[in-house]
A and B are shown apart, each in its own frame.
Chain A
């Protein structure tokens, strides 16, 4: 089965600082998804990456998928308190027909004003 490892497990940054969260897969990915979750709430879809080397940005958040499609990074520029939450990466394994996603354990981000 596919496993996703996220690092770091938690992160505390000062407002305005940049940060990076990593997600590494044990297998080649068909698709890599980034979600954000606030404690006790559902997941908010951020971005989906499918092609090796692909990079997408939304506001101050940029996500990249490496060429081998086994590692992704999420970069936040000039962090704000609104960025605080748990960031989860999810992946569909190569050739998956049922579109099921496996998730990492998440990275808890705290932003200090």
Chain B
């Protein structure tokens, strides 16, 4: 159990276009999902916390108009990188928290974004 699916696994886009990344909890309901960014040989940096039915909470330094997060259902959160630029190229990973009592995050496989 506790499977999180992230799609796409890899995307290459032109500068100025928008890219949507989906994160789905397949066998559990996730009231809270998280979006991370990981640079080469660095740890995960939390970008935002996504709660179902409410606005996402963004970490300091993360532009909310740049990285649009939507958590419309208990099993789906999306991250849209708007007007992507080469500096947005990175590895993006989502996670979903299972249950209210258990504070365990289960991660998707990540999305490698390359902006040309």
**What chain B residues lie within 8 Å of A106 (beta carbons)?**
43
* Cβ contact within 8 Å between A48 and B108: no
**What chain B residues lie within 8 Å of A104 (beta carbons)?**
43
**Total chain A interface residues with beta-carbon distance under 8 A:** 22
Interface residue tally of chain B, by bracket? Answer: 20 to 34
Is chain B's binding surface mostly helix, strand, loop or mixed? strand
Q: How far is B57's CA from A66's CA once the two chains are assembled, in angstroms? A: 32
> Given A35, A44, A88, A92, which contacts B103 in the complex, CB threshold below 8 Å?
A92
* Cβ contact within 8 Å between A88 and B57: no
The answer to the question of A41 belonging to the interface, with a C-beta cut-off of 8 Å to chain B, is: yes
* Cβ contact within 8 Å between B93 and A99: no
The answer to the question of B19 belonging to the interface, with a C-beta cut-off of 8 Å to chain A, is: no
> Given A42, A48, A98, A102, which contacts B107 in the complex, CB threshold below 8 Å?
A42
* Cβ contact within 8 Å between B103 and A99: yes
Q: How far is B46's CA from A105's CA once the two chains are assembled, in angstroms? A: 13
> Given B2, B6, B46, B57, which contacts A42 in the complex, CB threshold below 8 Å?
B6
* Cβ contact within 8 Å between B44 and A103: yes
> Given B6, B32, B106, which contacts A99 in the complex, CB threshold below 8 Å?
B32
Residue from A33, A41, A88 having most chain B Cβ neighbours under 10 A: A41
Contact (A103, B43) CB under 8 Å given A42-B6, A45-B106: yes
Contact (A42, B44) CB under 8 Å given A98-B49, A99-B32, A99-B97: no
The answer to the question of B62 belonging to the interface, with a C-beta cut-off of 8 Å to chain A, is: no
The answer to the question of B34 belonging to the interface, with a C-beta cut-off of 8 Å to chain A, is: yes
The answer to the question of A95 belonging to the interface, with a C-beta cut-off of 8 Å to chain B, is: no
- 25 intermolecular pairs with C-beta atoms under 8 Å apart: A31-B103, A33-B104, A40-B110, A41-B109, A42-B108, A43-B44, A43-B95, A43-B107, A44-B107, A45-B2, A45-B104, A45-B107, A48-B103, A48-B104, A98-B49, A98-B57, A99-B32, A100-B34, A100-B46, A100-B49, A101-B105, A102-B46, A103-B43, A105-B42, A106-B43
Interface residues of B (CB under 8 A from A): 2, 4, 6, 32, 34, 41-44, 46, 49, 57, 91, 93, 95, 97, 103-110, 112
